[in-house]
Amino acid sequence: MGANRTVSVDLKAHPYKVHIGEGLLAHVGEIARESSLAGLAAILTDEHVAKLYSEPLRRSLEQEGFVVSSQVVESGESSKSLAVAERVCEALAQSGINRRSFIVALGGGVIGDLAGFVAAIYYRGIPVIHVPTTVMAQVDSSIGGKTAVNLRAGKNLVGAFHQPRVIIADTDTLKTLGRREWNEGFAEVIKYGVIRDASLLSQLEQGITSMPDLVEHCVKIKASYVVEDEFETTGNRALLNFGHTLGHAIEAVAGYGKLLHGEAIALGMIAALDVSVRRAGLSAEEAKRVKAVIERYELPNRLPGEISLAAILSTVFADKKFVDGRIRFVVSPQLGKAVLADDIVQADLELALDSIR
């Protein structure tokens, strides 16, 4: 594991490490031991990932003496539901998983959010470790302890904060991603470039030379927001929602699974760039630069034709509080910076949505 790196998420109550590098899947058992885990290991994964990585993961855990059970759910956003969470809990109980056991989330953000949610509620909370296998999950969703399932009314409306014991991001697993799944993860990398570190945008423009380096860079950024504002109470962590207010609404209105999360967020970001140009002083050139990177990753820049703007707006209204007709909305005044504006009005959102119609 020599060339691999670790980033610490230094939360006071429960600090943990993110291991990043090639070939780490074979070391999950060892790392779980070092992380003081014991008892039964319950792997939760989806159909696609199970075929590729369940067996090597199981071997690694068994080599360290863990007794392993595994559960496979359907691939895709529709598995982030209360119904699936209930089925998973029932199956865990059938397998004898208890508070001395732990869950291993093997997969993308859908599995991470579902497994994290189940780990948060099963026996009022058991440990979870994340073994993220998508760009999205390695650079963003596995870090930070936000877990959730969806309701028809909106994304992530039922959930809990539950930090993982440890995260193991094997960048070799990314090699089997389909083109669309590979590209969508870069939406969150672009987001970090806009809100925090414009050098990421230059890297994306020039072409990525090392995925472990890129993942490490992004994990450090995400970890810093999480450590500063674990429960999203100071407003700082909320800056990570750049592109997400409209993006989540677009994702829900399109129908879960129609657009991948990163694809919906790309659309939400283009709209948020439009708001930023009109209301926060971002230059049109800067916005254009980000849009070019979004296009480079073959992410959508137009809403699918059948989506109605009114439906998107009413989903935003249901989800977010409008106070005196204004909404809190993350804007970027300059690439590499973001602020929470509290004076954005419905007309701003309408114009922004028009820009992606």
**Residues found near ligand NAD in the complex (CB under 6 A):** 46, 48-49, 52, 75-77, 80, 107-111, 113, 133-134, 136-137, 140-141, 144, 146, 155, 173, 176-177, 181, 184, 260-262
d(CA 243, CA 63): 43
Q: Which residue is nearest to ligand NAD (CB)?
A: 109
Q: What are phi and psi of 271, to 5 degrees?
A: -65, -40
Nearer Cβ to ligand NAD, position 49 or 103?
49
Q: At CA 14, angle to CA 8 and CA 19, rounded to 5?
A: 30
Nearer Cβ to ligand NAD, position 176 or 355?
176
DSSP 184-225: HHHHHHHHHHHHT-THHHHHHHH--S-HHHHHHHHHHHHHHH
Nearer Cβ to ligand NAD, position 29 or 144?
144
Nearer Cβ to ligand NAD, position 239 or 277?
239
Nearest approach, Cβ of 180 to ligand NAD (angstroms)? 8
Identify which of 10, 7, 75 has the alpha carbon closest to the alpha carbon of residue 47.
75
Nearer Cβ to ligand NAD, position 66 or 225?
225
d(CA 309, CA 260): 19
Nearer Cβ to ligand NAD, position 80 or 289?
80
Nearest approach, Cβ of 343 to ligand NAD (angstroms)? 27
Structure tokens at 56: 């090597």
Nearest approach, Cβ of 46 to ligand NAD (angstroms)? 5
Nearest approach, Cβ of 75 to ligand NAD (angstroms)? 4
Nearest approach, Cβ of 108 to ligand NAD (angstroms)? 2
Q: At CA 234, angle to CA 229 and CA 240, rounded to 5?
A: 60
Nearest approach, Cβ of 18 to ligand NAD (angstroms)? 13
CB 125 within 8 A of CB 151: no
Place of tokens 């699974």: 257
Nearest approach, Cβ of 191 to ligand NAD (angstroms)? 10
Identify which of 326, 180, 166 has the alpha carbon closest to the alpha carbon of residue 260.
180
DSSP 82-132: HHHHHHHHHHHHHTT--TT-EEEEEESHHHHHHHHHHHHHGGG---EEEEE
Residues 6 or more apart whose CB falls under 8 angstroms from that of 181 comprise: 108, 134, 135, 260
Nearer Cβ to ligand NAD, position 78 or 355?
78
